[in-house]
Structure 1
Amino acid sequence: MTDITTVTVLGTGVLGSQIAYATAYAGFDVVAYDIDEPALEKARERFAGLVTTYEAEVDGAAGGKAEAGLARINVTSDLAAAVADADLVIEAVPESLEIKRATWTAVGAAAPERTIFATNSSTLLPSDFMEATGRPDRFLALHFANRIWVQNTAEVMGTPKTDPAVYATVVDFAREIGMVPIEVKKERPGYVLNSLLVPLLNAASALWVDGVADVETIDKTWRIATGAPLGPFQIFDVIGMVTPYNIARTSDDPTQQKFAEILKRDFIDAGKLGAASGEGFYSYGA
């Protein structure tokens, strides 16, 4: 068992809300932070939805356990207050180096000396912004997969400055909240999961953008040939459009830049954000 009892999650988007709820469901006290009241209202809706999902899909969650997890979450838009008593801060803010550096500068100034800092960044290396915390020895990456209650990996990746004891504590914490810790031995963009997944998604988007095959054909080919339950565009819908857009628009590849333009124009601007919104590349109903 670790000494961690209070966890703060920064950012309550699709994955941030899942991290916060999974941690609370495991019995920890959680503070969920986001920038303003409209964002927090969406977070409350996501948490309520996760209660329903856990009751339907997680053994033992029905009969009050899922609701008890919800009761352990407090929400706030006051960053200093959010981290004031945190044993562990997990950051899941937008995938922007500038935003992450600014966030961690503020957190480092407000959090107790004992606090461990973890980023859920999926594409940026922790060493790119560890110095912003003022305590790089207590900073590392803790990366979760979407649908955390089913795809329960937690990739732990330190930097050359991460204290080994901090790393070990975070591995133990991941296990305590029901994750399977994936110990990444050295820094690598994409960790293990996205190093495998991103080339698939890039290849699929290039096939589509270049007019080689349509979405349904690409997905069908992958499912039939590999036995995978989802094709790459179904995976895009699970991830949501915002993260793939942010990654594609910063790519040096003209095809990926074109993909980003299409995602922005035809999907994000039209409110088709993926499965969570009811429509992305496919329609999901209510």
Structure 2
Amino acid sequence: MTDRVQNVAVLGTGVLGAQIAFQTAFSGFRVLAYDIDEKALTEARERFERLVHTYRAEVKGADADKTDAALTHLTLTTSLAEAVSDADLVIEAIPEVLELKQRVFGQLADLAPAKTIFATNSSTLLPSDLVDSTGRPDRFLALHFANRVWQFNTAEVMGTPATDAEVVAAVVAFARSIGMVPIELQKEKAGYVLNTLLVPLLNSALALAAGGYAEVEDIDRTWRIATGAPLGPLQIFDIIGLNTPYNILANGSAGDRQLAAWLKHNYLDQGKLGVATGEGFYSYA
């Protein structure tokens, strides 16, 4: 069963969804990438073209032939039924909204073949939050990627108590086959390993900026100088894209919702969503 994944559907072509789809296609798999309308697919095509240039510049062996081949392995569609009709694995990478994810998995339960494994790339939700909507608890788990998947290539694999051990093994093998380092969690943990470590840092930086305690540049400079890290937390936010932390914070505690409101007023409402739009906490050429 560990080599059973051949056809992959990726649901959502935002910043990380597009990266997951492209990395999978770059590794030789057939990928159907789904999003809700033609506007989203047009933006996805632009993301894939940018990824072609990024891979040629940053990834060893990513010459023109291999990156062009990756594009031929990718099919874009606005039909959820088409995307999953022959999928061995579905990777959900839609916005971080519980009700939305539950609704989509409910649709997948009726549309996908019995063979299909379902995976969520949710950053903060537990698989158990979604499992009842999937209709296949034994073939459902979390598969979490870090942004810039070709560089920061961890793939955290986290099942529920109902996930079949062979399904976990199949997804671990798939992750390894697309160049990721699988990190298998032994039990459910909100935030997995990566975000359990990262989110408190990011939210602390956001609170410092929102509270007017220090300038954005100084918050990041402090972290880089004091720890030797290559990026500051607010630079990381820009890479992630500000929509994702906004969606998470908007559904959190009262303090989180205050940070979300500040982020929306000062950045999202101004079209400053991070690197993808050319401006977030920083401006990009």
TM over 0.5: yes
Deviations 1:110-167 (A, max 9, x none): 1111111100000100111112111010000000000011000000000000000000
1:52 corresponding residue in structure 2: 53
RMSD over aligned Cα atoms: 0.9
2:146 corresponding residue in structure 1: 145
2:39 corresponding residue in structure 1: 38
1:247 corresponding residue in structure 2: 248
CA distance in 2, matches of 1:251, 1:89: 27
CA distance in 2, matches of 1:68, 1:81: 22
1:70 corresponding residue in structure 2: 71
Offset of residue 210 of structure 1: 2.1
CA distance in 2, matches of 1:39, 1:208: 31
Number of aligned residue pairs: give it. Answer: 284
2:62 corresponding residue in structure 1: 61
Deviations 1:89-127 (A, max 9, x none): 000011111111110111110111111110000010011
CA distance in 1, matches of 2:153, 2:88: 22
CA distance in 2, matches of 1:230, 1:42: 27
1:279 corresponding residue in structure 2: 279
TM value normalised by structure 1 = 0.97
TM value normalised by structure 2 = 0.98
- Report the AA paired with residue 271 of structure 2: G
Offset of residue 228 of structure 1: 0.2
Offset of residue 169 of structure 1: 0.5
Report if the CA contact (8 A) 1:6-1:30 is conserved: yes
Deviations 1:55-111 (A, max 9, x none): 111011113101100110001111111101000000001111111111011111011
Query: Which region of structure 1 is more displaced relative to structure 2, 142-151 or 57-66?
Result: 57-66
Matches within 5 A, 1:162-241: 162-241=163-242
1:96 corresponding residue in structure 2: 97
Q: Secondary structure at the match of 2:270?
A: coil
Q: Secondary structure at the match of 1:269?
A: helix
Matches within 5 A, 1:6-45: 6-45=7-46
1:269 correspondence with 2:269: yes
Deviations 1:157-182 (A, max 9, x none): 00000000000000000000000001
1:127 corresponding residue in structure 2: 128
CA distance in 2, matches of 1:168, 1:16: 22
CA distance in 2, matches of 1:165, 1:145: 24
Deviations 1:230-256 (A, max 9, x none): 0111111111110111111222142x3
Report if the CA contact (8 A) 1:209-1:258 is conserved: no
CA distance in 2, matches of 1:87, 1:257: 38
- Report the AA paired with residue 270 of structure 2: A
1:259 corresponding residue in structure 2: 259
Offset of residue 213 of structure 1: 1.4
CA distance in 2, matches of 1:200, 1:141: 23
Query: Which region of structure 1 is more displaced relative to structure 2, 118-127 or 1-10?
Result: 1-10
CA distance in 2, matches of 1:107, 1:114: 12
Deviations 1:26-50 (A, max 9, x none): 0000000001111111111111111
Report if the CA contact (8 A) 1:89-1:116 is conserved: yes
- Report the AA paired with residue 106 of structure 1: Q
